[in-house]
Structure 1
Amino acid sequence: MTLPASAVVSIVFFAKARELSGLSEAELRVPAHIAVEELLAIICENFSLNSIRSSLFLALNEDYCVDPVVQLKDGDEIAVIPPISGG
C-alpha cells in the first residue's frame, strides 16, 4: 500500500496566531509525511506568523505534536497555539 504524498489539513488559529493571520481557520495542502518543524515553517510562511514562530506549538487532532515527524491525512486538524499568558 502506497501512502499519499500530500494531505489537505484544517489549520485552526488561536489567540495571537488568529490575530496575525486574520483567520480563525483555513485549509492547506501539505506533504503527508513531514517533520513538525517543516510543517510549522510552512504554516508560518503561508499565514504571516514568522514574527511569533519561535513561540508557537502545534497540535494534531487535539494532541500536542511531540514526535519530530507526523503522518497526515486529509481532514486532519492542526492547531496553531501561541503561548498562553495568565493573569
Structure 2
Amino acid sequence: MSENYREDFVSIKILFFAKARELSGTGSATFLIKRQILASELANEICNSFNLHSIRHSFIIAINEIYCEDLTESLELHSGDEIAIIPPISGG
C-alpha cells in the first residue's frame, strides 16, 4: 500500500442507534473511508456496508456530535472521527 493511499483514507468510528442498530446488527463499528467525501457519499457507503438501505432517506448523520444537515456538503474526515447514524425516533 502506497503512502498516498493511506493518506487518502481514514479510520472512523460509526455509532448506530435505534433501527440502524437493529439493521446493522451492531452498536458501533470501525470503518475505513475516503478522507474527502460528500456527505451523501458517506451515507451511501455506510448503507451499502451495514444493510441500512431501508432507512437510507430517513436517518440523520452526526459527525463528532454535530448534525450534518446538507448532504451535498463536502467533508474532510480525520482518523478517530465519530459518525452517528440516527434514524427517526417514534414516540409512544
Common topology (TM > 0.5): yes
Letter in 2 for 1:54: H
Task: Pick from 31, 49, 71 the counterpart of residue 76 of structure 2.
Answer: 71
**Structure 2 alignment gaps of length 5 or more:** none
Instruction: Indicate the residue corresponding to 2:25 in structure 1.
Output: 22
Provide the C-alpha distance between the structure 2 equivalents of 1:69 and 1:58, rounded to a whole number of angstroms. Answer: 14
Offset of 1:59 from its aligned partner? 0.3
| SS class of match (1:19) | helix
Could you tell me the TM-score, scaled by structure 2's length?
0.87
Provide the C-alpha distance between the structure 1 equivalents of 2:75 and 2:91, rounded to a whole number of angstroms. Answer: 30
Which protein is bigger by CA-based radius of gyration? 2
**Structure 1 alignment gaps of length 5 or more:** none
Q: How much identity, in percent, do the aligned residues show?
A: 49
- 1:42-70 per-position Cα deviation (integer Å, ceiling 9, x unaligned): 00000000111010110000010135121
Could you tell me the TM-score, scaled by structure 1's length?
0.92
Q: Across the two proteins, how many residue pairs are aligned to each other?
A: 85
Provide the C-alpha distance between the structure 1 equivalents of 2:76 and 2:42, rounded to a whole number of angstroms. Answer: 11
What is the alpha-carbon root mean square deviation over aligned residues? 1.3
Letter in 2 for 1:83: P
Runs of 4 or more above 2 Å deviation = none
